[in-house]
Amino acid sequence: MSGQIVLFDIPSREPRTCWSLNPWKTRILLNYKGLDYRTEWLEYPDIRPRLEPHLPPNEGNMKYTIPTIQLPSGEYITDSAKIADAIEAAHPSPPVHLDSPILPKIYDIAARVRTPILGLYATGVPEYILAEASKPYWYETRAKFIGKPVEQLKAEMDVDAAWAEAGATVQEATALLKENGDGPFFLGKEISYADFVWAGFLLFSKRARPGLLDDILARSGDAEAHLALLKALEPWTERDGH
């Protein structure tokens, strides 16, 4: 694989930057591998028209999704996990340890932390991140997936119970981070894709609603462990807008 990769990402409002957790995984991976790429920003309504000529539809509700990349060969690959497999196969050094047993645990934890506080994310994204072109799409599709308007979901939250559940789950990530005392990564001093997955979640939380990341870390049992991970990954998270 040679030449420039195209990364399709969903922009924030101006100045356009990466914000969503799945594109963050791919962006950090490309940055860490030192690969030449450029970002093509797609507002939500533009994703399907741009990608449909090049990819079969996904199963389920979301037929075309971000992140997607276009390789220099012209091949399109969608889904962050499939992208990681392809990039790791083509560029095995430095490795990101996709076979680590921690990786599926982090996927699971990141999903379970979001679930009880989904109302905070679902209403925060259009309020604080999305440009006007993407807001109607967000409200319509999320209401369809959730089964109710996002504002109703947030209004119906049992906030104390939601945070108790989310806090207990994020403490599982803390335990994994501290399992290897060398730190700051899940594998100690060795970077892996699990770090990108969890950092993507934390960076998304920081953008999705003011104070949300602070609230998550306050319930983590050791906020410094997560902040140390983010600090250590800064060389590969600084590039977020091109």
**Amino acid sitting at position 210:** P
Query: Dihedral angle at the C-alpha atoms of 44, 47, 48, 49, nearest 10 degrees?
Result: 110
Other CB atoms within 10 A of residue 212 CB: 18
Average pLDDT over residues 78-90: 97
| pLDDT tens sequence across 34-79 | 999 999 999 999 999 999 999 999 988 889 999 999 999 999 999 9
Give me the half-sphere count of Cα atoms (radius 13 Å) on the Cβ side of residue 112.
15
- pLDDT for 71: 98
Residues 85 and 204 in one domain: no
Closest CA to 169 of 211, 117, 204, 208: 117
Residues 26 and 70 in one domain: yes
- Position 182 confidence tier, pLDDT thresholds 50, 70, 90: confident
Average pLDDT over residues 126-153: 97
For residue 169, being part of any structural domain is answered with yes
- Position 1 confidence tier, pLDDT thresholds 50, 70, 90: very low
| pLDDT tens sequence across 9-42 | 999 999 999 999 999 999 999 999 999 999 999 9
3-state per-residue secondary structure call for 49-84 = HHHCCCCCCCCCCCCCCCCEEECCCCCEEECHHHHH
Strand order in the sheet with 5-9: 37-41, 5-9, 68-70, 76-78
| Domain edge (last residue) among 90, 121, 140 | 90
| Domain edge (last residue) among 30, 63, 90 | 90
Instruction: Tell me the whole-structure pTM to 2 decimals.
Output: 0.97
Residue 175: which domain range? 102-237
Rounded-to-integer distance, Cα 77 and Cα 6, Å: 10
For residue 201, being part of any structural domain is answered with yes
- Domain count of the fold of the chain: 2
Average pLDDT over residues 209-225: 98
Residues 70 and 130 in one domain: no
For residue 46, being part of any structural domain is answered with yes
Structural tokens at position 176: 């994994």
- pLDDT for 60: 82
| Domain edge (last residue) among 70, 90, 110 | 90
- Position 3 confidence tier, pLDDT thresholds 50, 70, 90: confident
**Domain harbouring 29, CATH code:** 3.40.30.10
- Check whether 2 has a pLDDT greater than 60: no
Residues 25 and 113 in one domain: no
**Domain harbouring 159, CATH code:** 1.20.1050.10
Rounded-to-integer distance, Cα 113 and Cα 103, Å: 15
Structural tokens at position 196: 């990108």
- Check whether 104 has a pLDDT greater than 80: yes
Closest CA to 68 of 48, 88, 97: 48
| Beta pairing partners, 40 | 8
- Position 181 confidence tier, pLDDT thresholds 50, 70, 90: confident
Residue 146 · residue 153 · CB < 8 Å: yes
Average pLDDT over residues 144-153: 96
| C-alpha separations of 129 from 5, 15, 93, 117, 212 in Å | 26, 11, 34, 18, 14
- pLDDT for 151: 98
- pLDDT for 15: 96
